[in-house]
Structure 1
């Protein structure tokens, strides 16, 4: 019995020594005998703490309200967001929001998009712009994501380009309750309409939950959707922590447009959170080029592009 124990001890020691030798051979520069918990994969208490410190501290859902048949625009917007660097210590999920798929082609093609990307929300509504789609979206979110609530819920359109890291940084440090973040239109001149018009806005999760739970809002759906949304918040005394995002959120402007600069429209700037009124591919192209989305990609003999 004693000899058997000695043999087992020797075998255990040799196995441990072999593991150390393998680790040293594969990872000679990273090999450190820091503690008895160190393993070949480098999962020491030090690295575990580093990973924990880098864990996301803010979660944002950004819903892009669009129509099922806008395949080209959705493809462009999806690509534009995919090329952005991932926000640091933040989760920002961009999801396209459409109503019921009533056409045969949409039912098939959108289903393919869902299978390929998993980034489309199909609401139980009839497609509309100013007749309740915004309400359906905000009132559906708390139920759809009950198991993994977000800190903030945003709504925007498919002619707006958000810089997701800038959005996360703008929201980080703000309260997680009773928050409205967005452009205040029309430029603080009329307090009764100081809520987002068109380009998008973000509210804290509890505001979305309040929209879902408030029966009275279901009778106040018709009209310009974002003005209606502002009316709800004023009526219910919600979103009282208001943060205006101008001039970091604005309408697109370039030298070929007939319109001039205003309090809500100006040329592209480095610290942008969102650019609105990207109504055609040229405006998207110029915006993406300004923010270097077209730079730094791998070259290939298969194509040549003059910038």
Structure 2
């Protein structure tokens, strides 16, 4: 691996992370109604990961808005999917990426999720692979309060939307404010960062710029997040846009599974 993760840079080698107290994490995976195949693949991989966790707890659900086309057949498929797996959350808003979904997601976290079960809550996209154990290990030494964690450019004020991790108190902060269109319309990761920097009295922003990156096979997309490698210690790999793109992840992290 050609760079150090945040903890390693601070002098905590990866191997020593196992000795820190375990953590409990909720992951909300943003998806849209018609991406059933991607959800099924992610669900299968994540359930395998969850069974293999060493002391940590990582739960996940898929986060959707109401389909904008009011398609009855699609709604029936979503109902059948949720009846089968019980892992879909339908926010009370029309599906969108950058026009308020961020606010209503964090508000759902604060008002509907049993946050007493978690130290951290997070948002990821359904084109990102999240390595549950590596995420948990890297969060173990960090603060449980006012945390804003993920991939951050040294010159920016926000965590990129590949994975955004908040301590639970920040979700409550967001929910304590009414929705204001001017604060939440725009790129969701930028708007979240702007909101937290404006309203949080204390904010521990931690950039994890080595272990969260764009798929190494894609050289011309999002160069600022691109790495030429993936390692066993990686936390998140972004830009997995179709089933074929996930094959490299499966081969690297799940090759020993039956």
Provide the rounded CA distance (Å) in 2 between the counterparts of 1:244 and 1:258: 22
TM-superposed CA distance for 1:110, in Å, is 1.3
The 3-state SS of whatever aligns with 1:282 is helix
Matches within 5 A, 1:1-307: 57-84=22-49, 85-101=51-67, 102-146=70-114, 148-184=116-152, 187-188=153-154, 190=155, 193-215=156-178, 217=180, 219-237=182-200, 240-254=203-217, 257-259=218-220, 262-266=223-227, 267-291=229-253, 293-297=254-258
Larger Rg: 1
Query: What's the TM-score, normalizing by structure 2?
Result: 0.84
Give the number of aligned pairs. 234
Cα gap change, 1:131 to 1:147, in 2 (>3 Å): closer
Provide the rounded CA distance (Å) in 2 between the counterparts of 1:121 and 1:233: 24
After superposition, the C-alpha distances for 1:257-290 in whole angstroms (9 at most, x for unaligned) are 4538955211212210110111122220011101
> CA-atom RMSD, angstroms?
2.1
Query: What's the TM-score, normalizing by structure 1?
Result: 0.71
Cα gap change, 1:260 to 1:221, in 2 (>3 Å): closer
The 3-state SS of whatever aligns with 2:185 is coil
The 3-state SS of whatever aligns with 2:213 is strand
Cα gap change, 1:260 to 1:212, in 2 (>3 Å): closer
Provide the rounded CA distance (Å) in 2 between the counterparts of 1:222 and 1:163: 30
Question: Quick check: 1:100–1:123 contact (8 Å CA) kept in 2?
Answer: yes
TM-superposed CA distance for 1:96, in Å, is 0.2
Provide the rounded CA distance (Å) in 1 between the counterparts of 2:222 and 2:74: 39
Question: Quick check: 2:30–2:125 contact (8 Å CA) kept in 1?
Answer: yes
Provide the rounded CA distance (Å) in 2 between the counterparts of 1:216 and 1:259: 36
Bigger fraction of residues in strand: 2
After superposition, the C-alpha distances for 1:169-208 in whole angstroms (9 at most, x for unaligned) are 1111321110011000xx31x2xx3322231110000000
Provide the rounded CA distance (Å) in 2 between the counterparts of 1:230 and 1:61: 20
Provide the rounded CA distance (Å) in 1 between the counterparts of 2:202 and 2:78: 34
Stretch moving more, 212-221 or 126-135: 212-221
TM-superposed CA distance for 1:158, in Å, is 0.4
Structure 1 residue ranges, 4+ long, deviating more than 6 angstroms after superposition: none
TM-superposed CA distance for 1:219, in Å, is 4.4
The 3-state SS of whatever aligns with 1:177 is coil
Q: Which runs of 5+ in 2 are unaligned?
A: 1-20
TM-superposed CA distance for 1:112, in Å, is 1.5
After superposition, the C-alpha distances for 1:200-222 in whole angstroms (9 at most, x for unaligned) are 11000000000000226554121
The 3-state SS of whatever aligns with 1:196 is coil
Q: Which has the higher contact order (CA 8 A, sep 6+)?
A: 2
